[in-house]
Structures are given as structure tokens and as C-alpha cells.
């Protein structure tokens, strides 16, 4: 599976409008919460996915990707690596453009499934860190 370049990742982040956070949490100390809040502040339409919650940061929370009534550009995964395959299958079904596996989340088989379906894959990288280094302007 090909690793995307910084330029390719920058284009993904610039073109994306809607990001689903799979494994979102309402706990402010959790990385998924911090990343979700950051992405909202950056202007993205962020949709939390977690069957345990009805709402996170004022956003309606969905139990899974298939129940989201709008197109998803990036599926950002905050789940264990072994849970990624089903999420990728769901992402393929809804025709997401990009699968983003956060730092520490690696599943080569699931990543290859996504690539085979024509979906971009970013693995073992933090979307907040990448956004900050590739897009955010520093003064």
C-alpha cells in the first residue's frame, strides 16, 4: 500500500468539508474530543460516531457511519487497530473519500481494502498534527 505524500495529505485536508470521528468521546481529556474540537474550530463539519452518546460538543452523535444522512469526506478512526476492518467496510459502503487512522491505529489489510475500493488511506498519523504542519499558518 502506497504512503501518501505531504502534498497529497494537504489536498485531502483542503478539499474535505465533512469529517466523521469514529470513536468520538465526550471526555475533554480524550484525544478524540480534542481533535474533534480542533476540527470544528478549523471550520469542518464534524460528525461524531459512537453508539454510547446522543450528542458530543453540540453535534448529533450517530451509532455508525451508515446512519449519517450526508456525504462524508474523511472517516477519522479512533478505535483499536483490530476494529478498523468493519469501519472500512462501512466507509466503502457510504463512498467516503478518505480513511484516516489516527496515531497508533494500523491495519494494513483494512487499508488495502480501502485502497482497492478507490479510497485514500492515511495510517498512523494524527489529523490535527498534519493539519497544523501542512495548513495552519504560523505567525
Q: Sign of the C-alpha dihedral, residues 103, 128, 29, 43?
A: negative
Span 1-40, pLDDT tens digits: 778 888 999 999 999 999 999 999 999 999 999 999 999 9
pLDDT band at 111 (very low <50, low <70, confident <90, very high): very high
**CATH classification (class only), 6-134:** alpha beta
Q: What three-state secondary structure class fits 133?
A: helix
pTM score of the predicted model: 0.95
What pLDDT shows up at residue 139? 39
What pLDDT shows up at residue 1? 76
| Backbone phi and psi for residue 59, each to the nearest 5 degrees, phi listed first | -105, 135
Span 44-101, pLDDT tens digits: 999 999 999 999 999 999 999 999 999 999 999 999 999 999 999 999 999 999 999 9
Q: How far, CA to CA in Å, does 2 sit from each of 31, 52, 127?
A: 27, 35, 18
Q: Can you read off the three cell numbers belonging to residue 94?
A: 457510504
Amino acid at each position: 500500500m502506497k504512503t501518501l505524500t505531504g502534498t497529497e495529505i494537504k489536498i485531502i485536508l483542503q478539499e474535505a468539508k465533512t469529517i466523521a470521528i469514529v470513536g468520538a468521546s465526550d471526555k475533554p481529556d480524550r484525544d478524540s474530543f480534542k481533535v474533534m474540537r480542533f476540527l470544528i474550530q478549523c471550520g469542518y463539519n464534524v460528525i461524531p460516531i459512537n453508539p454510547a452518546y446522543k450528542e458530543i460538543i453540540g453535534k448529533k452523535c450517530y451509532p455508525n457511519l451508515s446512519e449519517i444522512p450526508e456525504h462524508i469526506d474523511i472517516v477519522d478512526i479512533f478505535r483499536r487497530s483490530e476494529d478498523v476492518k468493519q469501519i472500512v467496510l462501512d466507509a466503502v459502503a457510504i463512498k467516503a473519500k478518505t480513511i484516516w487512522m489516527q496515531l497508533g491505529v494500523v491495519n494494513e489489510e483494512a487499508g488495502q481494502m480501502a485502497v482497492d475500493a478507490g479510497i485514500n488511506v492515511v495510517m498512523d498519523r494524527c489529523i490535527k498534527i498534519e493539519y497544523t504542519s501542512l495548513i495552519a499558518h504560523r505567525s
